Structure formats: C-alpha cells, structure tokens
Structure 1
Amino acid sequence: MDLAALTIFRAVVRENGVTRAAAKLNRVQSNVTTRIKQLEEQLGTELFIRDGRKLVLTPAGETLLPYAERLLALADEARHALRESRPSGRLRLGTMESAAASRLPPLLAHYHQSWPEVELELETGTTRRLIERVREFEVDAALIAAQLDSNWAGDLFEAVPVFREELVMLTPRGHRPIREARDIALSTLIAFERGCVYRAHVERWYMEHGIRPARVLELGSYHAIVACVAAGAGVAVAPRSVLESQHDLNNIAIHSLGELGCIDTLLVWRRGHFSSALKALRETLQANSNLVPSVVDQSELGVATV
C-alpha cells in the first residue's frame, strides 16, 4: 500500500464519493476510480459497494480506514520530524465554540504572523466530538473543556491547561438572584447539544439539588443562546469571556456560579503525535494564558495534565 492510494481512499470516505474526492484532491475522477480499484486488487478485497448513487464501505473498508488514518498521520509526523525546526505544513485545530469566539482570534492572528508557513485549519465542535476527532487523527489537536471524568485520557492523549474560564448563568433581566438550582424560575435550559462539558456541568448541578430542567433547547451558537435568554425563553450557562464579545446584553442578568463555574480549557493531542507547528501553538497559548505560571509550568514536565 502506498500513501497516495491511502490518501485517495480516505478522501473518498470523507467526501462520500468519487466526484467530491476528486475535486478535493485536484484529480480527475477516472484517476481516483483507478487508484481505488488498484488498491482493492492489491489487498484482494472490495473496499466499497455501490448503494444507488452512494459508495458504502464494506467490512474490509471499515477495517482499513483506521489503519489508513494512523499510517497517514504517522507519515505526516515523520515529515515534520525531518524538516527544519521552524514550524511549517498543515495544522488542524479543533476548538469549542466559546474558545473560537473569545480566546483565539487575536492569538491565531499573532500565530499566523509569526509562522506564515503553517497552514492552519480550524473547526468547532463540542468537547466530546473534538476528543473523537483527535482520536481518529482527523484533527491534530483540540481545545476542550476539562472533563468531569478525570480518567478520560488514559494513555492515548496528552494535554496541558491553557485557560481558566468562569462559567456563569444567564437569565432574563429581573430574575431573582441565583444561589442554588432551586432559585431558577424558568424551567427551560438553553444549551449546546450533548457532548458539551459546560452543559454537563450545569445538568449535574441541577441533579445535585434534586431537580432537572423540564426542557432543554439545543442551539449551536452563543449569539443565539443569548438572544433566546434575553427573550425570556429560558436560562443558559456560558463562559464570562464569551459575553465580552456580545453587544446586546441589556436584557440579560449574569449570575456567578462560584467554584462550580471554574473550568479549565485544555489543549489536547494524541500521545506521540506532535510537530513543531503544534509546539509553537502550545507556546503561543501558554504565553497568553490566564493561569498562574506555576500551573502552566507543569506542562513542561511532559506529564499529561487532565
């Protein structure tokens, strides 16, 4: 198996077909089809079957896919290792919506100015989704919220804390002060989809007080969440740093959650899957961290901190 064939195979899977894979790879469709057939002949098994207009992975294709991801990631790592120490190449970064909105814009602008040879790709998602993206080598690293389960990383990931967020509760203006979950007058919680650690934190807080929201309204952006709270549709939680970028908070009341609201943001990557570009990003994030130096310096020990 050569890496070019595996790259084509992965692209066909990711793009759900030959046509879009060919466009993504800047190849003609016939070339993509031929390389897939050659790979199947080399392996002695079919990798795809056609279901109408769609290509569906066979069991053999399902087996090959994670190996292809790992081999291509290892090849990228080898290329990085053999290059000069100056950061270059592609860096795929996943991030929570909150970090993308509040923390990253000036830092990534600085990073791009410092290392213009790095092709930085950014995608957003919930913490659970981002962990899976790192696990499957679909992103090189991700900014996630510290998990409720401290044993989630095992031996597979390395992580360092880079920011500390203060999670606050948002209610319509005029809502009574909130000291515990029973003080919440509205029964709807407005939040991101399951897999969001901030949502998991506040849902656990509800449960610890023996109650649960009657309804969860799932939205995909903080702008929409704030607007719905302002309209009286429910309550929500959000990092205080995100609110600094919101322009209209006139109809919002902000309630501190005390120690419950202190949640670290971690930079996480697969153990052993490191590059000079990722190292430069980690250094940029840590240089602009709001954590005390003694905490940040633990990362230099090479110990996974989760």
Structure 2
Amino acid sequence: MIESPSPLDLAALDIFRTVAAEGSVTRAAERLGRVQSNVTTRVQQLEADLGTPLFLREGRRMALTPEGQVLLGYADQLLALAEEARQAVRPGPPGGRLRLGSMESTAASRLPVPLARLHGQWPGVALELSTAPTRELVERLRAHALDAVLVAWPPGQAPDPVFETRPVFTEELLLVLPAGHPAVAGPEEVQPGALAVFEPGCTYRRIGQDWFAPRPQPMQVLELGSYHAILACVAAGSCAGIVPRSVLAMTPHAALLRHQPIIRIDTLLTWRKGYRSSALDALQQALSAD
C-alpha cells in the first residue's frame, strides 16, 4: 500500500516563508515569537515531508535551494488564500491584514487622508502598503502577493479580465518644463533632449514616451527613482518630465517650473475577481468618502 503524502501545514509554511525572508532561524524565531529549536524542527519536518532540502545552510545563514524557491511561490499563494478565506467568513467589523500596492504618486498625493480615515474608523485593519510601477504591482497582485492595487492602465488597454476594477481618482498628467521654457504646441517644440521618468513598467512613463514619439529627434531617457529627483532635474533645465498635477501641487518649488496638461487618466483600485474581504470593503468606503 502506497502511503499518501502528508498534507501541507499552513503554520509550517508560514515558518518556512519567514525563515526565507529573514535568511536566519534566529531572526525568524524572534519575528514569530517562537523558540529557535521549534523553528528548526518545523523546517526539518517540512523538508522530510516533501523529501527535498529547502535551504542551503551557510553557517547561520539560510539560503533557499531551487526547490525552496519553487515552494516559496506556492506558500505565498496558499497563505494568502487562507487569509482570504478567514476574512470571507469572519463575522463582525472589518479587520485582518490588507496588502495594498500603489503607484508612488498616488501614495504620496492621494492616500494620506483616506488611509488615516480607514485607520481611525477601523483600527483592526492591518494595512500593509508598498509602492512600485503599475506593471510590477499587477504581477504581484496576480501572484497573490498583494490583495489590491492602485494603478493606471495605459490608455486603450483594458484591464485583464481576471481582475475587477473601480475608478477612484482622476489624474491630470502634466508636461513639466524648465521655468523659462516657452509654451509648446507639440513634442517637436520641447527644447530639452531628455525625458526624466521612472523605471519601465510605469504607465506615466509610457504615456510620456508615446507623446514624444512623433518627435523627429528621439528623446533620451533618464531613469530616476522619485518625483523629487524628476522635478529637480527639470528645474535644472536638463530635461522634461511627466508628472501628475496632484504631485506638482505638493512641491514648494512649482514656480521654478512651467507645465501644461497632456492627458487625464483614471487611477483604478484593482483586485482579483472573486476576492472579497471586509478590509477591502472598508478601504473602498474610505477612498470614496470625499
């Protein structure tokens, strides 16, 4: 008679994932509030159940094996689904973890007020906020590494049918130029030869590059890591930029820049079709309260 494999233990998967994140049994035990021997035993039991080593032991450092890397992706999904199931059947007020991803511009200019409102009304919701370009956020949402994201889909591109979406903000994107630059009727009249943008995967970068596409002399691309850096580069006269009006309104140095609108685009709250939680419902209420 063939023995059936042991079922995967969610608690063991959580311990495994924490050790992988910390790279150390000692730090994982501290984070989990467990003794080190318990963490070591649970990892060893998981390896025995699966019949393969999950970590390479390098002194006190724990590095994932290729099999461990594969399991980590499944562990993230299984633990996320378990949390989703708990929230779906849990009665009572909104609570539990909500992993929200956002474009940096949205997090900086749009989220402080609604997230403060969410925390004040529902302190039991444990919000985890992270920022990244739209493409990365969507990939993390698809992989169950995030529960919901605030993103801008490129004009003319419909959201993937595996997602549900809801418009929550409308952004006016501005072409930002040095203060002394004359008004422009089209991309060929822009004097700087470089465009300051975020990394690939940013929808606003794509919109900017598409706007400059008819220009006879292509724009060089200068990748920067923040809107502060982009606006400083523009103010210095060496480049142009594409910036939401809501972000420009936050800078005390707007007078050092010339700007003009190029497009309006919605920011969409996006989540996996079928995903439901009281925490997500509470977030939607907080975002639509104004």
TM-score by length of 1: 0.86
Deviation at 1:56, TM superposition (A): 3.4
Q: Matched residues in 2 for 1:24 and 1:58: separation? A: 22
Q: How many percent of aligned residue pairs carry the same amino acid?
A: 52
Structure 1 ranges of 4+ moved more than 4 A: 51-54
**Number of the residue aligned with 1:166:** 172
Q: Which residue does the alignment assign to 1:252?
A: 257
Q: Give the paired residue count.
A: 283
Q: Who is 1:278 aligned against?
A: 280
Task: State the distance in 2 between where 1:217 and 1:21 align.
Answer: 39
User: Equivalent of 2:27, from 20, 31, 51?
Assistant: 20
Displacement of 1:218 after TM fit? 1.9
Which of 101, 110, 131 in structure 1 is aligned with 2:108? 101
CA–CA distance in structure 2, aligned partners of residues 30 and 85 of structure 1? 37
Shift of 1:54: 4.8
Q: Cα deviations across residues 62-108 of structure 1 (Å, max 9, x unaligned)?
A: 33222212211121112112222421111111111111111111111
In the TM superposition, what whole-angstrom CA distance separates every residue of 1:170-220 from its partner, at most 9, and x where no partner exists?
Answer: 111111212211111001111111111100111112224454212x22222
Give the 3-state SS of the residue equivalent to 1:250 in structure 2: helix
In structure 1, runs of 5+ residues without a counterpart are 289-306
d(CA) in 2 for partners of 1:27, 1:208: 61
Tell me the distance in 2 between the aligned counterparts of 1:16 and 1:200.
37
Whether 1:237 aligns to 2:242 is yes
1:304 corresponds to? none
Paired with 1:35 and 1:208, the residues of 2 have a C-alpha distance of 60
- Where does residue 145 of structure 2 map in the other structure? 138
Q: CA deviation at 1:149?
A: 6.2
Among residues 205, 212, 216, which one is paired with 2:218 in the alignment? Answer: 212
Name the counterpart of 1:295.
none
Kindly indicate whether the alpha-carbon contact (under 8 Å) linking 1:203 and 1:212 is maintained by their aligned counterparts in 2.
Answer: no
Question: Using the alignment, how far apart are the partners of 1:31 and 1:241 within structure 2?
Answer: 50
Q: Does 1:181 align with 2:205?
A: no
Match of 1:30 among 12, 32, 37: 37
Give the whole-Å Cα distance in 1 for the aligned partners of 2:26 and 2:193.
Answer: 48
| Partner Cα distance (1:189, 1:139) in 2 | 31
Deviation at 1:53, TM superposition (A): 6.3
Cα distance between partner residues in 1 of 2:239 and 2:179: 12
Question: How far is 1:52 from its partner?
Answer: 7.0
The answer to whether the 8 A contact 1:94-1:130 is kept is yes
What does residue 42 of structure 1 align with?
49
Q: Any conservation in 2 of the 1:135–1:270 contact (CA below 8 Å)?
A: yes
